[in-house]
Amino acid sequence: MAASNAELRAVITAARRADSPIPHVALVGGDLCRTLGGRGEVVPGGTGSRVVVDIGSVLLDGRLHWFAAHLVARSPIGIGRWWVAANAAHHGSWNLAPRAHPGDGLLDVLDADLRPAAQIAARRRLGRGDHVPHPDIDYRRLPAVQTTFDRPLTVRLDGVVIGRVRNLSVRIEPEALHLTV
């Protein structure tokens, strides 16, 4: 059972590092659960919905990692460039990637470097998901992408800080995870 993005990521990472199949997981919380319509609760005797979803894999400055919901790269204080690869639409209270679907074989990639006033305005609209389209936010849906940042950015995978990196290569692994939500 996983009650958060970080717990689910830990299950995925342990299986991948052991070169084992990812086990079937009961998902009862987190952004992926919310995206899939989960209520974030365990119903005694309930069976939930069984789904098969994608996961993301990313090479960060030469080291391989995995994520279930999203990769977020930004400065430590959150000002300046934001780069996101999302498998789930939601990120906390934000509808960050409103078109994201965890089973479509695509990552929703957002790249933004907004001026402070535009960043404040976009943040106000994040909860509703109407921050896009925006002329200064590049939003694409891709199975894989590579990028290099001018300066190292802090990378979080499913909410867990991995470190500061300059180069990343991310791709989707279709139908890699079996869940009950």
10-residue averages of pLDDT along the chain (181 residues):
97 98 96 87 68 97 95 82 93 82 96 69 55 67 96 96 96 97 93
Q: For residue 23, what are its two tokens?
A: 């086990």
Q: Which amino acid is at 119?
A: Q
β-bridge pairing 160-180 and 25-26: parallel
pLDDT of the residue at 129: 52
Residue 15, exposed/middle/buried by CB under 10 A (0-12, 13-18, 19+)?
Answer: middle
Cα–Cα distance, 117 to 140 (Å, whole number): 24
Cα–Cα distance, 132 to 56 (Å, whole number): 22
Asked if 4 and 29 touch (Cβ cutoff 8 Å), the reply is yes
pLDDT of the residue at 71: 98
pTM here is: 0.87
Residue with the two structure tokens 């084992």: 20
Identify the CA nearest to 87 among candidates 111, 105, 69, 72: 69
Please provide the size of the chain in residues: 181
Cα–Cα distance, 4 to 26 (Å, whole number): 11
- CATH numbers and ranges of domains, the chain: 5-180 (2.60.200.30)
Q: For residue 1, what are its two tokens?
A: 């059972």
Identify the CA nearest to 39 among candidates 54, 29, 25, 47: 29
Asked if 61 and 171 touch (Cβ cutoff 8 Å), the reply is no
Cα–Cα distance, 170 to 176 (Å, whole number): 15
Give the 3-state secondary structure of residue 71.
strand
For 32-84, how does the pLDDT look when each residue is reduced to its tens digit (9 = 90+)? 999 999 876 555 555 788 999 999 999 998 899 999 999 999 987 667 788 99
pLDDT of the residue at 38: 86
Identify the CA nearest to 152 among candidates 164, 170, 161, 168: 164
